Amino acid sequence: MIKSLHKFGIVVVLIGLLASCTKNFDRINTDPTAAPIVSPGILLTRGLLYVSGGEFEAWRANLIYCAPMVQHIASLSLTYVGDKYLYNDGYTGAAFNSFYPNGVKILTTLIDQTKNDPTQVNVNAMARIAKVIMLQRLTDLYGYVPYLAAGRGFLDQNFTPAYDPQDVIYAGLASELQAAAAQLDPSKSTPGNADISGYGGSPAQWKKLAYSLLLRVGLRLSKKADPSQGKTWVQQAVAGGVFTTNTDAFFIQHASGDYDNPNSHVIGVYPGSRGETGKDIMDIKLSKFFVDLLKGKSDPRLQIISELPKADSTPGGSDDPALQKGLPNGFDNTSDPVFGIGTTGDANLAHYSQPKQVIAQPNSPNIFITFSEVQLMLAEAAARGWIAGDPVQFFTTGVKSGIWQWTLYSPSIVYNDAAATTYATAQAAALSGPLNSQLEAINTQYYITTFLNDYETYANWRRSGFPVLTPVNYKNNETNGQIPRRLRYPRNEYDVNRNNVNAANAAQGPDLFTTPIWWDKP
């Protein structure tokens, strides 16, 4: 009996030891530095959501810095430091601090996970293209940034990546787009609804996107003393096949709730939004320069994108073009001799135009590149003699498409083809003049058509110099009254990756708003 109990006790102890050893088996035997294996479809969806971004960087990078610097919007609030060329580390570093650990990391993981899987060739290509969008935004904002090692911390155990020169980055972007376009295969499986862009997983549409982005990459080099590499990429893009219709536009389709449009979450006044527009707050208004530009051209888009708030601050105020009034950039609410804020004069901000609320809904699309942009880029390439074709035809089609694209926001926005044709034809008259006049007309329309995608507006304005903007000179600004040429690196990078940041600054120039990036130099 005693022997039996003794044997039973031993068995119990062994079982207990086994249980204790296997209780946390998965956790104990999982490499905490390894990227988890997640369904490619889930990673693609999540990656695209992060490409579109969140309210955090949309507000800080796109709407606080880029949009007011190019004078699409204006504000009396000191929050809007880009309106006055002031420095705020949390804002200038927002895109860097958000894109790398989220979208770039997820897409890099997806690319690595699917690189040797022939059944996922289309997902792999789509992830590569989406990653290019994020990395081009980053390098266009900051200049030298991690590129070759971007997002590979888990994969390579390299948590202090080097900052790559921008010429290396741009060559990499062009190569990646061409390789991804070549591997897209309509005969292979597609991600279907996991692709939350307007393409629904279509390899043919993604191929057009790749070449349209290559067109943008190539044209960005036009300011260089030797733009031959950019010209080659532009020609390769055209040969590959860029956007051909309005509906080719690439956008992320958002849904109300947790995944609402990041721009809308800032400028919208729907329940749950930040409501950064309205009568009684000093935040986002359309700028005087932008409103006057549209009014001066009798641009039909003014009525589509602009409104005066009602007296009770509810959305849907007057959209009469004749009544629209933009707020000048570079003022605050305490010392404004133009408006007499705090003294006398027109101090009621309800008298100044704001983005129309029909384009700032939670389910509004977030647009990255449109048929309008592509046609205008082709117009410039043709005017420069880089490609064959009629610049006037490209331009006219691009301007009309830039009006049509707002119908993507709401069924209530109706496209009037006759009015658009009349307007586009009138604007095309400038293309009969010298090259500089042609470039001004083309890039002014590009400036208008990229409203709300101000990452791109800011990049193209620095490249082209058009439209001609008058800088502000707000007190104690960082640039001595010059529009910034880049954003500054986040301070936390100096804490965790100091040697590589310092090396970038030594090669590129001081980490200041006034230091031009590589393609911004002749």
Asked whether the predicted pLDDT for residue 343 surpasses 50, the reply is: no
Over residues 324-346, the mean pLDDT reads: 68
The SS3 assignment for 56 reads helix
Angle at the Cα of 78 from the Cα atoms of 92 and 339, rounded to 5 degrees: 135
303 versus 9: which is more confidently predicted? 303
Q: What is the largest CA-CA distance in the chain?
A: 110
Asked whether the predicted pLDDT for residue 389 surpasses 70, the reply is: yes
Look at residue 314 in the predicted model and tell me its pLDDT: 53
Nearest-angstrom CA–CA distance, 242 and 234: 10
Shortest CA distance to 331 belongs to which of 347, 311, 317? 347
Match 């290559």 to its residue by tokens. Answer: 214
Residue 60, burial from CB neighbour count under 10 angstroms (0-12, 13-18, 19+): buried
Which structure tokens are listed for 322?
């004749």
Pairing of strands 250-252, 366-369: antiparallel
Look at residue 312 in the predicted model and tell me its pLDDT: 47
pLDDT tens-digit readout, 185-201: 999 999 999 999 999 99
Shortest CA distance to 297 belongs to which of 81, 513, 508, 448? 448
Q: Which residues are CB-contacts of 95 (< 8 A; sequence separation ≥ 6)?
A: 57, 60, 61, 137, 138, 141, 455, 487
Match 């911390």 to its residue by tokens. Answer: 153
Q: How far is CA 228 from the centre of its chain?
A: 26
Q: Where are the beta strands (DSSP E) in 55-120?
A: 73-74
Asked whether the predicted pLDDT for residue 26 surpasses 70, the reply is: no
Asked whether the predicted pLDDT for residue 324 surpasses 50, the reply is: yes
pLDDT tens-digit readout, 107-119: 999 999 999 999 9
Nearest-angstrom CA–CA distance, 113 and 217: 27
244 versus 1: which is more confidently predicted? 244
Which structure tokens are listed for 522?
């002749």
Q: Place 351 in a pLDDT band, splitting at 50, 70 and 90.
A: confident
Which structure tokens are listed for 138?
């980053």
Asked whether the predicted pLDDT for residue 447 surpasses 90, the reply is: yes
Q: What CA dihedral angle connects 64, 70, 74 and 80, to 10 degrees?
A: 20
pLDDT tens-digit readout, 206-256: 999 999 999 999 999 999 999 999 999 999 999 999 999 999 999 999 988
Q: Place 5 in a pLDDT band, splitting at 50, 70 and 90.
A: very low
Nearest-angstrom CA–CA distance, 297 and 355: 19
Over residues 155-172, the mean pLDDT reads: 96
Average model confidence (pLDDT) across the chain: 90
Give residue 55's identity as a one-letter amino acid code. Answer: E
Q: Place 316 in a pLDDT band, splitting at 50, 70 and 90.
A: low
pLDDT tens-digit readout, 69-85: 999 999 988 899 999 99
Look at residue 112 in the predicted model and tell me its pLDDT: 96
Q: Place 179 in a pLDDT band, splitting at 50, 70 and 90.
A: very high
The SS3 assignment for 91 reads helix
pTM to 2 decimal places: 0.91
Look at residue 283 in the predicted model and tell me its pLDDT: 80
